[in-house]
Structure 1
């Protein structure tokens, strides 16, 4: 019997998830389908509550439905509980709806692949931004054992709230203190939309940043943001955000289709071609 899954959200027409999962279905010879299901905001609560009637074995959830999906679940993993949001859903043997948040796993998987040993360098992590993506990154870094994670946001109150949610190892800081904090960093992460295609550039002075510190950006359009270019030009190792998209998809595929897929250079090249980028 063909196993069906999909990406759900509003809108979903530009999602590259079908390209990723379609590649894996073909690679592993699985009788499966992965499509797009647009779920209007006013229909989201009922759709996820009655997910067992959808004909899908599971789904990915994109904006703006991650919180709604989490509330509909009968079971959540630790990450989804911490985020209050789920991006990966599946039905268990009893047709109970289960949810996970794999953004943090995807973030770590990307860095492990692109910059092996990145977490062995002593120093703090500096996270720019205080939205949902920042929450996933901070959760992942604390789980990986970082002794301190600085959260830097132009609206300090948002950074402060996030820090309180995660405890004493996460420290809110104002943008004015960024230079001082960068001097202690082994990792700099941009989780804001600055530098994304169509958005203002990320303008920060990287001079205080140690040259062995890894710089990464969760933005992948463009694939090399201004921040990554600036870091690379001064000799810092960098990792773009595309791998986070690919690695966060791994757990869902394994749940739905029973095979743990590999994030390969061939898959990365496929997505880059779809983005119109030559690597």
Structure 2
């Protein structure tokens, strides 16, 4: 952790923060200097999370278990009864939806982890250190993003082994992976913000089950065209639907629509970027504020 003279006891990065200069005077830290200290803080906190995963490899397996279970249930047990428009088979439609679940599942571990840190006093200890508040949380999200990339790569490899293919080339496939990781980054911030606000690990764990029905009212498993009108509107404007549609579009697994399409599904990449910007604008300040004001 970086330690600076002139920093606040809680670790805030005040614009006037300064370090000892020539003649024991105080020289203000430049913007580049503050950025370096913030990146150092973020890297330190990222290592903390990565070491936790290193000593608990079962967490990576658990992150992969839910999409694999969905692949077996929907791809092989119910898959023979599923029909989607166009020439693509149902499993081609399903795989990008399962990749999207990897991104959405960022809410659950980050929410319970943040609530656990609050309950065990870790958040209070971090707040007493002279570190950047936003960098402390950013480090956790970056570490989770690295682990998520491994899980997504494993699921991609399994999909390829089972016959799924990306049909629009390597560049489009790489863009799809980048978009999925972007949304995982977004859901990490959502989870951290909610976990810090909730503050109790048991409550956060119970509330995390609500993520599953949220992911069901989407186009992840089935097209929304067959849903009742009111439910279709909710599913079409669900951010998860935009991410799944963007993944299908970029992987070349899109399904032609037989009826009018809502704007987020007609322009899924733009909708995903817009939803990501909006959610980050809401939950990043919420998480930083909850981290800063906890216990006050």
TM-score (norm 2): 0.30
* Higher strand fraction (1 or 2): 1
Larger radius of gyration: 2
**Relative contact order (C-alpha < 8 Å, sep 6+): which is higher?**
2
Q: Which structure dedicates a bigger proportion of its chain to helix?
A: 2
After TM superposition, the score normalised by the length of structure 1 is: 0.31
